[in-house]
Amino acid sequence: MNNLFEIVALTAVIGAGATLAMDVWRFFLQKAFGINSLDLALLGRWVAYVFRGRVVHKPIAKSNKISGELLIGWISHYAIGMTLAGLLPLFYGRVWLSSPSLLPALTIGIATVLAPWFIMQPAMGLGIAARRAQSPFAVRLRNLAIHTVYAFGLYAAALGLQWLVGTGRSA
């Protein structure tokens, strides 16, 4: 596995699988308990505004809607998940892709909560770690939970990919 393209492709598939795990979890929470998570239309709105030169909103929900913001949100959601999965081979080496282990996936997956806490939530008008949210502690707890699901999704997707395409080491 020396080919950079192969590493990027495997990482993208693993990241997409982990992001899908997040979405399944979000859907379950919404249907079973009525718990809503990130509104992907608001993510799309924020991303669209970033490309128009506006990063900070107070709050994003009061900014004008953007045509196609939900689609932009879904695409961005998966692009972010796929990109952040690249932290695994970056920090743990290429070998992690061919021999995935749980601890690195948990470490990276849970650490990705720093992105919403210190970039997206402040930029969307919620403050650092959602301190301006109606229930900051509840938001932080949901963030940690969903990023833990992402972490387990990284590991599961890597194992699944290893089984599917034989990216693991030969005996």
pLDDT per residue as tens, the chain (171 positions): 568 899 999 999 999 999 999 999 999 999 999 988 888 999 999 999 999 999 999 899 999 999 999 999 999 999 999 999 999 999 999 999 989 999 999 999 999 999 999 999 999 999 999 999 999 999 999 999 999 999 999 999 999 998 888 755 543
- Residue 79 near residue 47, CB atoms below 8 Å: no
Separation in Å, CA 88 to CA 12, 21, 77, 171: 11, 17, 18, 24
Segments making up each domain of the chain, as ranges: 4-164
Stated pTM of the model: 0.90
Other Cβ atoms within 10 Å of 121 Cβ, number:
24
pLDDT at 38: 80
